[in-house]
Structure 1
Amino acid sequence: MHASPSAAALHTLHGETMGTSWCVKLVASPRADSHVLHAGIQQRLDRVVAQMSNWEADSDLGRFNRSAAGSWHRLPEEFFEVLSYALEIARDSEGAYDPTIGALVEAWGFGPAQHAHAIPADIALSTARADAGWQRLILDAEKSSALQPGRLQLDLSAIAKGYGVDLVARHLRDIGIAAALVEVGGELYGYGRKPDDSAWQVLVEASPDEDAVDATDPRVIALDGIAIATSGDHWHAFEQQGMRYSHTLDPRTGKPVEHAPAAVTVIADDAMRADAWATALTVMGATAGFELAQSRNLAARFASRTEHGLREHMTDAFLARLPA
C-alpha cells in the first residue's frame, strides 16, 4: 500500500471506541480502499476493548476481576504487555499511578456501574482501598500470566487508549502505510510525512482557561515517530457541597486528586507511555510531578491554576520538542 509522494492522497477515517471517538489521517494511494483500512483500524481497537475494557463484562479484564483468589490467568499478548508496563509506571511513580484501583473508581462513581457521583461512605472507601494495591499483583512473564490475589480489580483506562493508538500505528506500518496520524480520545501518535512533505503538527491540548497562558507560545508539536497525551481535571469531575472532585483518583489516598493541575501533557516514544505518565504526573501534582519528570528526562508540560490565571512550566525535555 506504499504510495509515491506524487501519487499519495490524504485519507481521513473516523470511528468510535472505548467510550470516545477515534480519527486516523493516513497517506496512501488515492485508490486505497477506505473500507478495508477502516475495518483494520477498528479491529485493532476492538481487540483492546475485548481484552482490557472495564465496561465489557466478558472482557479478559472483566473475567480476571471476577476470578477466585489464588487463581492464575494466562493473558492475551496485548493485555500482558500493557499490564506489565502499567506495573513499571506504578513502581517508578511510587504508586501515583496504579492499575489496580478498579474498586476505588467504582466507589467514587466513575466506573461502569455508573451510579451517581458522590463521596463514598468511609466503610466503602476503606474496603476499596484494601482491595487495591499494585504490589499485590504478581505476573509470570514466562507464562504471560497474572495471579488474582483476591478481590483485586484492574482498571487500565489510563493506559489502554494510548496502547490502542500504538496498536493501530503498528498495524498501519505493517500494511505499508508510510505516514499516519492516529488519535483516540485525545491521545495521538504520528509518523511519516503528509503528501506535501510537511510533518504532522498538533497543538498541545490543555484546559478551557488556556488563553490565560502567554498566547505568543504556539505550543505546536511535530509528531514524527512520537506520541503526545494530556491528562487534567476538567474532563470529568463532579461537585458536592461546594467541593470539586476530579475523576483522577490518587491511589495513595483513595480519593480524587486535590489541587490537580489543569492539564499535564507528556510526549513519549509511544502513546501508552505518554498516556500513563500524564495520569501519574497529574496525580503527583505540579511540584512533585515536575521534579520527577525533570529527573527522569520526561517531556512534560504542566498548566496549573493560580489566582492570577494559569501558570505553565515545562521540563527541559519538553522545551526541546518545541519549534525553535
Structure 2
Amino acid sequence: MRTLGGATMGTTWSVRYAGQAEPASLRPGIEARLERVIAQMSGWQAHSDLCRFNAAPAGSRHRLPAEFATVLACALEMAELSGGAFDPSMAPLVDLWGFGPVPAAKPIPEADEVAAALADVGWRRLRLEEGCLDQQGVTRLDFSGIAKGYAVDLVAEYLASIGLVSFLVEIGGELRGQGMKPDGSPWWVALEAVPGAVRTEEDFLLALHGLSVATSGDYRRFFEQDGHRYGHTLDPRTGWPVANSLASVTVLHPSCMRADAWATALFVLGPQAGLELATRHGIGALLVSREEGRLVEHMSPAFASMLD
C-alpha cells in the first residue's frame, strides 16, 4: 500500500493506492488537477475564472472552461432538485457573513443588509448555454459547497486513466474509493462522528467500492455570538445561517461532486424535508439532529440498505 498527500484549497489531500507506480510519479498529475480546480473555481484567488466572472461588467458573455461548466451544470441541477436550498449564486451572502476571503465588517449583519445581499442571489438568473454564461450585473458565484467534491472526482478519474484500479482519494474529509486492496478487502472508512455522539466507529463502517462520501455539519466552521451558534452553511432562501436542528448530514454517492452538493442541500432543508427529498431521489443519506439534548440519527432507505 502506498500513500502520498499535500495541501490544497485551505485543507489537505491524500491518496492511498495499491500498485507499482511510485508516489513521486503520481504527484505531478494529481497536483495539476487540484491546481486546475483552484485556477477555475476558487473564490479566494483573484485571477480565477470564477472571480473574474464575478467582477465582470453587466452584459458580458463568458465561455467557461470545461470543468467549470461541468460543476456549474451540476450546481444548477441541484438547485432545481432542492428548490433553491443549494444555490451557486450565493457569494454576496457568503461575503456578507465573512465566510469568504474577506472578513465580515461586523459579526452579525443587520436584517436590511441581509435582504440587500439576498436580492442579488438567485440561481434562476443563471443561463448556461453551450458552455457560455452571461453576467447579469449582480451575479456572483460561490462553489464552496461543490468544488471540493469535484476535485476528488477529478483526481480519481486521473488515477483510473493511468491504470490504477485500487485507490482511496480524500480532500478535506470528502472521500472516493475504487477497487479492492491486495488482500481482497475494500476501502473501509468510518463515517465522521458529530462531536458528542456516543457510538463506536464500527456502527458506521462503510466500504467505498465505487462510492464517495461527503459530510456537511455545523461543527466544522462557526462562530458564537450572545450564546448563539452561527454555522458557515447559509440558507440561500433566507440569507441567514441554517437554523434547523441538524448537526450533520452525510451522503453516499458514486460522484463525490454530487455527494458534496447533496450534503449541503439536505443540511439546509433540515431533518424532515431533507430526509424526504433524499428518500424521493434514492440518495443514501444519514442526517444527525439535536433533539431534546441528544443526537438522533435518521437514515434514508438507500443509506440503510448500504449497511446490510
TM-score when normalising by structure 2: 0.97
* Mapping for residues 60-79 of structure 1, pairs under 5 Å: 60-79=49-68
Residues 194-220 of structure 1: CA deviation (Å, up to 9, x unaligned): 121210011111311222xx5496111
Task: Check if 1:299 corresponds to 2:284.
Answer: yes
Equivalent residue for 1:191? Answer: 178
**C-alpha separation between the residues in 2 aligned to 1:181 and 1:127?**
43
How many residues align? The count is 308
Unpaired runs of at least 5, structure 2: none
- Specify which of 80, 89, 97 is matched with residue 100 of structure 1: 89
For residue 116 of structure 1, report the CA deviation from its aligned partner. Answer: 6.0
For residue 115 of structure 1, report the CA deviation from its aligned partner. Answer: 3.5
Equivalent residue for 2:244? Answer: 259
Task: Check if 1:130 corresponds to 2:119.
Answer: yes
Letter of the 1:205 partner, please give it. Answer: E
Any idea what SS the aligned residue of 1:28 has?
coil
Residues 269-305 of structure 1: CA deviation (Å, up to 9, x unaligned): 1100000000000000011101111111110001111
Any idea what SS the aligned residue of 1:313 has?
strand
For residue 114 of structure 1, report the CA deviation from its aligned partner. Answer: 2.6
For residue 84 of structure 1, report the CA deviation from its aligned partner. Answer: 0.4
CA RMSD of aligned residues (A): 1.3
Equivalent residue for 1:23? Answer: 14
Equivalent residue for 1:37? Answer: 26
* Mapping for residues 133-282 of structure 1, pairs under 5 Å: 133-141=122-130, 144-211=131-198, 214-215=199-200, 218-282=203-267
The answer on whether the counterparts of 1:28 and 1:177 sit within 8 Å (CA) in structure 2 is yes
For residue 87 of structure 1, report the CA deviation from its aligned partner. Answer: 0.2
**C-alpha separation between the residues in 1 aligned to 2:274 and 2:28?**
39
Task: Check if 1:55 corresponds to 2:44.
Answer: yes
For residue 123 of structure 1, report the CA deviation from its aligned partner. Answer: 3.5
For residue 117 of structure 1, report the CA deviation from its aligned partner. Answer: 6.1
**C-alpha separation between the residues in 2 aligned to 1:140 and 1:312?**
41
TM-score when normalising by structure 1: 0.92
**C-alpha separation between the residues in 1 aligned to 2:66 and 2:248?**
32
The answer on whether the counterparts of 1:105 and 1:249 sit within 8 Å (CA) in structure 2 is yes
**C-alpha separation between the residues in 1 aligned to 2:205 and 2:106?**
36
**C-alpha separation between the residues in 2 aligned to 1:125 and 1:26?**
46
The answer on whether the counterparts of 1:194 and 1:200 sit within 8 Å (CA) in structure 2 is yes
Any idea what SS the aligned residue of 1:210 has?
coil
The answer on whether the counterparts of 1:117 and 1:238 sit within 8 Å (CA) in structure 2 is no
For residue 28 of structure 1, report the CA deviation from its aligned partner. Answer: 1.2
**C-alpha separation between the residues in 2 aligned to 1:101 and 1:216?**
35
Any idea what SS the aligned residue of 1:208 has?
coil
Residues 37-85 of structure 1: CA deviation (Å, up to 9, x unaligned): 1121111111000000000000000000001111110000000000001
Letter of the 1:195 partner, please give it. Answer: P
**C-alpha separation between the residues in 1 aligned to 2:285 and 2:52?**
35
Any idea what SS the aligned residue of 2:143 has?
coil
The answer on whether the counterparts of 2:190 and 2:202 sit within 8 Å (CA) in structure 1 is no
Equivalent residue for 1:5? Answer: none
The answer on whether the counterparts of 1:232 and 1:260 sit within 8 Å (CA) in structure 2 is no
Any idea what SS the aligned residue of 1:202 has?
strand
**C-alpha separation between the residues in 2 aligned to 1:159 and 1:273?**
7
Any idea what SS the aligned residue of 1:50 has?
helix
Unpaired runs of at least 5, structure 1: 1-9
The answer on whether the counterparts of 2:245 and 2:291 sit within 8 Å (CA) in structure 1 is no
Matched residues, percent identical? 52
**C-alpha separation between the residues in 2 aligned to 1:310 and 1:67?**
45
In 2 relative to 1, CA 233–172 (structure 1 residues): closer, same or farther, beyond 3 Å?
Answer: same
